[in-house]
Amino acid sequence: MKTLMKIISQLMKFSLAFKNPLKPTKKNFILKGQILELQDYVKYKYALDEADDNGWFPLHVAVVQPIQQILEIVLDASYKTLWEYNTCDGETPLTLAINSGLVENVRTLLEKGVWPDTKNLKGETPLLLAIRKGSYDMVSLLIKHNTSLDLPCIKRWSAMHEAAKQGRKDIIALLLKNGGNVHLRDGFGITPLGVAAEYGHCDVLEYLIHKGGDVFALADDGASVLFEAAGGGNPDCISLLLEYGGSGNVPNRSGHLPIHRAAYEGHYLALKYLIPVTSKNAIQKSGLTPIHSAAEGQNVQCLELLIENDFDVNSLLADHISENYDDGRKTALYFAVSNNDILCTEVLLAAGADPNQDPLNCLLVAVRAGNHEIVRLLLSHGANVNCYFMHVNDTRFPSAIQYALNDEAMLRLLLNNGYQVEMCFDCMHGDIFGNSFVWSEIEEDVLPGWTSCVIKDNPFCEFITVPWMKHLVGRVIRILIDYMDYVPLCDKLKSMLEVQREWPEIRQILDSKPTETSYSLDTCQDAGCMYRAAPGKGIFPRNFRGFSL
């Protein structure tokens, strides 16, 4: 036996016959026969109480099909408690009809007495859904049946906000004509004017201003309407707001100005408007420059525009902003490097950005990310290949090499650019000839305003021979010895190398290189170094730089 819902479903299929080449007489006959069958079934009230697995009752099914007679039959026969009943998805019969775009079904429901303000379980009103659907007719019907114009939805988002978001000047005019409020604020304190600005609807923005919208309104986070417009990126909206008195020097609570948001979002034309109306003093007070914002947002065109307008690529983040980052970053270049953004990195370096200003050197970030191109750019513009991590570091040798042990191309890139390879053989274990090493002094390279707290007590031989890295010893040492004339190989490294497959080749190379006894003081001085022999010992080159390949 057919259920009522199956009959309605069949009728929905027949409703598609308007696109079917069946003759009208045949179609009407079939349709008429099904409606008669439906009228017989609704006489039994229990048939209207059946719901499917999705919580849909016959009334829910009836409102999403286009035949008015079917809806009227089912609606009249249903208990009024079902008129507002939610499906499992939280939709009511009225919200289903609106979402289906069936204006006549909406009209039927409202004229039969369905309440126009019943929200779905998402907290959305029928009026908001009608505006989102873009239906002026459904909005008119709801207003005609006394829907509440200012009833807030979830997060206090109103119908007026939705109309501003959709850019529907005609619907906004209809709402205002019937008592709508232009000064409503959503859950974030944003007015419809701010919404229109954010979504770049200049005609709506101007209309709301003429209807009393406050150009100087601030959201709960301190964002101005102009700040919202900068996020939208429409230069016409920015020009309009400036014309009506908007200011580019009003920061939000985090200190960001409209120029920062435009630069971050990559709105080139908006940025052009904001550069001349934003004061240098306001930018300085904010603690960051739009150069930082453009680099963080990976917007190279905005970056170039700012550089053309004489913004300093070496400006540092204020301490209160830098402290919000675990790495303590300071420069715009750091943002570009940490984003693996080759274009922005290249533009900043070409404009004179200093790659050595951050506590965690940009080079270390690029090496760790395995970005060869950015590493080449940084090194060619003076990045310190022998830098140490400024906060915490326990290695005797410069930090960069530890991130390149699995990448021969990266390792050789560092070595070819002056990496102090001799520091990798500077330890206290003694060499293979039985001599004890004397640790060399390391010149501290501390940035102005920074205090070094590094403890450089872990030699390379200890670092590379830990259980989870010892498989790399042979390959890495084989590369390193290419960059040294004299290799003071310690007994710890030798014992580890002897079980590596590279050892025969390394041994052969070591035998061909000068030993410590072949060095004299004159030879060392001729080579340009300043080593001195300890009493009773030979010459031990401690700071002798290897030659690049």
Q: Low-confidence residues of the chain, pLDDT below 70?
A: 1-33, 45-46, 390-393, 430-456, 513-549
Sole residue written with tokens 């499906």: 87
Report the pLDDT value the prediction gives residue 526, as an integer from 0 to 100.
41
Reference 151, options 135, 162, 140; nearest CA is 162
Instruction: List beta partners, residue 218.
Output: 224
Report the pLDDT value the prediction gives residue 487, as an integer from 0 to 100.
84
The whole-angstrom separation of Cα 451 and Cα 446 is 7
Report the pLDDT value the prediction gives residue 449, as an integer from 0 to 100.
41
Instruction: List beta partners, residue 458.
Output: 395
The whole-angstrom separation of Cα 455 and Cα 441 is 13
Report the pLDDT value the prediction gives residue 14, as an integer from 0 to 100.
45
In contact, 220 and 189? CB cutoff 8 Å? yes
Report the pLDDT value the prediction gives residue 384, as an integer from 0 to 100.
96
The whole-angstrom separation of Cα 160 and Cα 177 is 12
Buried b (16+ CB within 10 A) or exposed e, 404-423: bbeeeebbbbbbebebbbbb
The whole-angstrom separation of Cα 94 and Cα 60 is 9
Report the pLDDT value the prediction gives residue 81, as an integer from 0 to 100.
86
Non-local CB neighbours of 152 within 8 Å, separated by 6+ positions? 158, 184, 186
Tokens of 184: 């409503």
Q: What 8-state DSSP symbol labels residue 395? A: B
Report the pLDDT value the prediction gives residue 523, as an integer from 0 to 100.
41
Rounded to 5°, the CA angle 493-403-476 comes to 30
Write the burial class of residue 372 (CB in 10 Å: 0-12 exposed, 13-18 middle, 19+ buried): middle
Report the pLDDT value the prediction gives residue 532, as an integer from 0 to 100.
30
Q: State residue 48 phi and psi, 5-degree precision.
A: -85, -5
Reference 438, options 518, 545, 533, 546; nearest CA is 533
Taking the mean position of all CA atoms in its chain, how far away is CA 502? 45
